[in-house]
Amino acid sequence: MMWRTLRLRTQLAAAMILAILLAILFGYVGLNLFARWQEQMMLNALDPVARQTLMEVNAGGRPPAAAAVALYKERVRIAQTIDHEQSVLLIGLAALASMFGIAVGLALATRLARPIEAVSHAARAITSGDLSARAAEGPPGAGELRQLLSDFNSMAEALEAYDRDLREGSAAIAHELRTPLTILRGRLQGQLDGVFATDGPAIAALIQEVDLLARIVEDLQTLSLANTGRLELNVRLADMALLAATHLHALEPILATAGMRLETRLAPTLVEMDEQRLGQVLLALVDNARRHAATGGVVEVETKIDGASALLIITDRGPGLPSHEPDQVFRRFWRGEPSRSRVHGGSGLGLAVVKAVVEAHGGTVLAGDRPDGGAVFHVQLPRQQRRGKA
């Protein structure tokens, strides 16, 4: 940004200096041309005797004294006339140069003011609540001013998107919290009224809803910390394959209950990572396959090293992802199809948390379709990364 500001100032200074130099050059050339024309006109205005005497003097001759005196007087008169006319011309040229400078200044001021006024007008509209306002782009101007308009409009678009996500997210959070809270209240009220028995299964069902509420709150906290750059990572060198094997061993009974079997290709993969956070990523991706791809019967987990990167690949054989913008699955509370509805459980935050944790590690996560059917989630992490805050 600093070099852009310096460049704009340099352009303005150069334009002002150019205007001054042009005015001086215009005055100098105009004054010299006028002087030559004036001299020729005065020479032609001399009477024949004075002209002949001037020619003799210029040729080195000695004209009569009376003729020389008359020529001298004539030349004094001509010089006075020339001085007077040149003074008038100089005033006129100064006026023209001033007008030229004013015109250049107004042109520069207009060029500067137009985009600034557009930004100011849009800023006032945004302040009043119209987040769709944008700074109108006019005729091409200085590159820095065009960049100012572009940056302002990009900021306005980001602000509008943030406001939209905030409103949609607030509504989605309210919806997600309402369901378990309604269930909790209904069951507790039923137990209080004696409609439901207060036994082990009933209490277990209540705990399940409480766990869902706790998971939603925890996921929201993770996303909030990631969005503000304050997600803490306890990074150390560990084997992703060993981490995956430990978690998958615990998940096998759950997958078997859903009618799925687990296939693994876990090559040793040493990487600097937060094991708890990466375990959260693995669990979320496998659980996503369990909930949405159980019909495929298989979930595959692979870890391997690819140069300076560590890869975690989760593949299922279910219906796959929506055909439009697969990355939409990482949005908070996003559900593209009825098959990804609340019927399958989950808070709608799992994949958003996956993306936040992976990016906090300096990595990327991509979603795509398996060639033979199903979905593929591809997590890529740098094997060495910055420790501390995300």
Which CATH number do you get for residue 182?
1.10.287.130
Confidence of residue 300 (pLDDT cuts 50, 70, 90): very high
Provide the pLDDT for residue 335. Answer: 57
Residue 139 falls within a domain, yes or no? no
Whose CA is closest to 78, among 117, 120, 46, 51?
46
Provide the pLDDT for residue 265. Answer: 95
pLDDT tens digits, residue range 199-212? 888 888 888 778 77
Provide the pLDDT for residue 342. Answer: 45
Residue 207 falls within a domain, yes or no? yes
102 and 219 in a common domain: no
pLDDT tens digits, residue range 60-107? 777 677 666 666 666 677 667 767 776 776 777 677 777 776 777 677
Domain termination site, one of 201, 227, 253: 227
76 and 199 in a common domain: no
Whose CA is closest to 338, among 292, 277, 278?
292
pLDDT tens digits, residue range 155-200? 888 888 777 777 766 776 776 677 778 888 888 888 888 887 788 8
Confidence of residue 8 (pLDDT cuts 50, 70, 90): low
Asked if pLDDT for residue 388 goes beyond 90, the answer is: no
CA distance 361 to 106: 53
Residue 355 falls within a domain, yes or no? yes
197 and 80 in a common domain: no
Domain count, the chain: 3
Residue 84 identity (one-letter amino acid): H
78 and 55 in a common domain: yes
Residue 123 falls within a domain, yes or no? yes
Could you tell me if 176 and 348 are in contact, meaning their C-beta atoms sit under 8 angstroms apart? yes
The domain that holds 321 is classified in CATH as 3.30.565.10
Whose CA is closest to 118, among 102, 132, 137, 131?
137
Task: Choose the most confident range, by mean pLDDT, from 138-142, 193-197, 294-298, 343-347.
Answer: 294-298
Domain termination site, one of 227, 258, 286: 227
Mean pLDDT of 302-321: 93
Residue 254 falls within a domain, yes or no? yes
Could you tell me if 359 and 226 are in contact, meaning their C-beta atoms sit under 8 angstroms apart? yes
CA distance 245 to 5: 55
346 and 202 in a common domain: no
* Half-sphere exposure (Cβ direction) of 318: Cα atoms closer than 13 Å: 27
283 and 329 in a common domain: yes
Asked if pLDDT for residue 389 goes beyond 50, the answer is: no
Asked if pLDDT for residue 27 goes beyond 50, the answer is: yes
CA distance 153 to 176: 34
Provide the pLDDT for residue 357. Answer: 92
247 and 216 in a common domain: no
Whose CA is closest to 363, among 306, 320, 325, 321?
306
Whose CA is closest to 373, among 268, 312, 308, 295?
295
* Half-sphere exposure (Cβ direction) of 55: Cα atoms closer than 13 Å: 9
Which range marks the domain in which residue 295 is found?
Answer: 234-389
187 and 309 in a common domain: no
Residue 137 falls within a domain, yes or no? no
Confidence of residue 37 (pLDDT cuts 50, 70, 90): confident
337 and 353 in a common domain: yes
Number of H helices, E strands in the chain: 8, 9
Please list the residues that pair with 262 across neighbouring strands: 299
pTM beyond 0.85: the answer is no
295 and 251 in a common domain: yes
CA distance 119 to 124: 9
Among 21-25, 41-45, 218-222, 293-297, the least confident range: 41-45
CA distance 203 to 289: 28
Residue 138 falls within a domain, yes or no? no
Residue 19 falls within a domain, yes or no? yes
247 and 159 in a common domain: no
Using CA atoms in the order 112, 113, 117, 120, what is the torsion angle rounded to 10 degrees?
60
Provide the pLDDT for residue 344. Answer: 47
Could you tell me if 326 and 369 are in contact, meaning their C-beta atoms sit under 8 angstroms apart? yes
Whose CA is closest to 129, among 169, 89, 167, 79?
167
Provide the pLDDT for residue 315. Answer: 95
261 and 121 in a common domain: no
Whose CA is closest to 309, among 261, 380, 259, 234?
380
Query: Tokens in use for 357?
Result: 């944790």
Whose CA is closest to 337, among 286, 292, 283?
292
Which is higher by pLDDT, 91 or 47?
91
Query: Tokens in use for 299?
Result: 């979930």
Mean pLDDT of 307-312: 94
Strand 309-316 to strand 298-306: parallel, antiparallel, or no bridges (unpaired)?
Answer: antiparallel
Instruction: Report the share of the chain in percent with pLDDT over 70.
Output: 71
Which is higher by pLDDT, 335 or 307?
307
Domain termination site, one of 98, 130, 162: 130
Could you tell me if 93 and 127 are in contact, meaning their C-beta atoms sit under 8 angstroms apart? no
**Mean residue pLDDT across the chain:** 78
pLDDT tens digits, residue range 236-286? 999 999 999 999 998 898 899 989 999 999 999 999 999 999 998 999 999
